[in-house]
Amino acid sequence: MSGNRPWLAPLLSLVFLAVFVGLWHLGTRTSVGEVIVDPEYAALIGAAAATGGQSAMPGPGDVVAKLWEHVTDPFYDRGTNDKGIGIQLGHSIARVLIGFGLAALVAVPLGFVIGMSPLVYKALDPFIQILKPISPLAWMPLALYTIKDSNISAIFVIFICSLWPMLINTAFGVASVRRDWLNVARTLEVSRLRTAFQVILPAAAPTIMTGMRISVGIAWLVIVAAEMLVGGTGIGYFVWNEWNNLSIANIISAILFIGLIGMVLDNSLARLGRAVTYKE
C-alpha cells in the first residue's frame, strides 16, 4: 500500500507532529490574568505568580526560540560552569565512546572464551547473573569513593553498563555457531585460532553487533543520569543546571538533542551490524 505512495508515511509523521505541537500549544496557553498584587510586590516575583498562579510549562514557541539560540551558538564558553550545548554534548559523547570502547575490549574476548568453553561459561554464570541487573548508577558512590576522580567514575559507570549486553551476546553468538561449520573446519584440520577468526567470528558477528547496539543505547541513557549526579561537564550537567534554574524550555531543548544523538549512535551501529550480516 505504502509501496506505491512513499510520501504517505512522512506525511503521517508530520500530521502527528502538528497534532502534538497543537495540543502542547493549547495546553500551555497562558491566560493573561489581572495582576492581583500591588506593583511593588509584582516586580519582585515572576509574571505567573503575580497573577496568583504558578509559572507554567513553556509553550512550543518558547522552546523553539531556545532551541534556535542553542543551534546558532553551540560552542560558546563563558566560564567553567557555562559552556555551549555543543561542548556539553561533546563531553558526553567522548565519555560514552571511551567507556563503551573499553567495555568492548573486555567483553568481546571474554565473551569468546565463555562461548567456546561451556566450563568457563558455567563457572562465570553466577557472577554475570548477579552483576548484570545492577543499575549502573548504584555503582556511582562506590566508584567515586574508590577511584577518587569524578570523570573516571562516570566513564567507569558507562563501562560497567555497556559490558553485560556485549558479553552475553558475544557468548551466545559464539556458542550458537552451527556445528556443521565447526565440523567442516575440524575435518579440514584448520587450527583453533584460525577457526576462531575465520569461522566463529564472522558467524557470530551479527549477534555481537546486536549486543553492541544494545550497549551503546544503554550507555547513552546512563550518561545523562551519571552526569546529573557528578556535575561538571556534559549534557547531564546541562540538564541539571537548567533544572536548578527551573528553565523547562532549556531542558526540553536538551532532551531533543539527547534524543537526536542517541538516534545517530544507534543508527551508526545498526549500519555496522548490517555490514556484517550474511545469508545462510
Partner 1 sequence: MSAFRNPFDHKVRLHRGGCSCGHHHSQADHDKAELLEKQALQDRAVEGAIMRALFPQDEVRRRFLKAVGGTTAMAAIASLFPLAAAKEAFAETLGPLEKTKLSVGFIPITCATPIIMAHPLGYYAKYGLDVEVVKTAGWAVIRDKALAKEYDAAHMLSPMPLAISIGAGSNPIPWTMPAVENINGQAITLAMKHKDKRDPKDWKGFRFAVPFDYSMHNYLLRYYLAEHGIDPDRDVSIRSVPPPEMVANLRADNIDGFLAPDPVNQRAVYDGVGFIHLLSKEIWEGHPCCAFSASREFVTTMPNTYQALLKAILDATAYARKPENRKEIAAAIAPTNYLNQPVTVVEQVLTGTYADGLGNVVRDPNRIDFDPFPYESFAIWILTQMKRWGQISGEVDYAKVASDVFLATDATRLMKEVGMEPPTDPVKAFSVMGKPFDPSQPEAYIDSFAIKRG
Does the footprint of partner 1 cover residue 148 (CB under 8 A)? yes
Q: Which stretch binds partner 1 (CB under 8 A): 25-33, 99-107, 225-233, 269-277?
A: 225-233
Identify whether the C-beta of residue 200 lies closer than 8 Å to the C-beta of residue 174: yes
Rounded to the nearest 5 percent, the helix, strand and coil shares of the chain are: 75, 0, 25
Q: Which is nearer to partner 1, 45 or 272 (CB)?
A: 45
Does the footprint of partner 1 cover residue 31 (CB under 8 A)? no
CB-count exposure of residue 15 (10 Å: 0-12, 13-18, 19+): exposed
Q: How far is CA 269 from the centre of its chain?
A: 13
Rounded Cα gap, residues 164 and 110, in angstroms: 11
Rounded Cα gap, residues 176 and 280, in angstroms: 14
Does the footprint of partner 1 cover residue 149 (CB under 8 A)? yes
* SS3 at position 190: coil
Residues 6+ apart with CB under 8 A from 190: 198, 199
- Of residues 194, 205, 245, the one with CA closest to residue 111: 205
Does the footprint of partner 1 cover residue 142 (CB under 8 A)? no
Among 64, 229, 261, 276, binds partner 1 (CB under 8 A): 229
Q: Which stretch binds partner 1 (CB under 8 A): 65-73, 91-99, 137-145, 159-167?
A: 137-145
Among 232, 263, 271, 275, binds partner 1 (CB under 8 A): 232
Does the footprint of partner 1 cover residue 79 (CB under 8 A)? yes
Q: In the bound complex, what is the minimum distance in angstroms from residue 100's beta carbon to partner 1?
A: 23
Among 21, 37, 196, 221, binds partner 1 (CB under 8 A): 37
Residues 49-78 that bind partner 1 (CB under 8 A): 49, 52-55, 78
Rounded Cα gap, residues 109 and 233, in angstroms: 32
Among 18, 134, 184, 246, binds partner 1 (CB under 8 A): 246
Among 34, 40, 180, 189, binds partner 1 (CB under 8 A): 40
Name the residue type at position 240: W
Q: In the bound complex, what is the minimum distance in angstroms from residue 130's beta carbon to partner 1?
A: 26
Does the footprint of partner 1 cover residue 195 (CB under 8 A)? no
Number of residues that bind partner 1 (CB under 8 A): 38
Q: Which is nearer to partner 1, 21 or 37 (CB)?
A: 37
Q: In the bound complex, what is the minimum distance in angstroms from residue 94's beta carbon to partner 1?
A: 18
Q: Which is nearer to partner 1, 150 or 207 (CB)?
A: 150
Rounded Cα gap, residues 56 and 103, in angstroms: 43
DSSP annotation of 45 reads S
- Of residues 111, 171, 148, 112, the one with CA closest to residue 156: 148
Per the document, the length of the chain is: 280
What is the contact surface with partner 1 in residues (CB under 8 A)? 37-38, 40-41, 43-46, 48-49, 52-55, 78-82, 141, 144-145, 148-150, 228-232, 237, 240-246
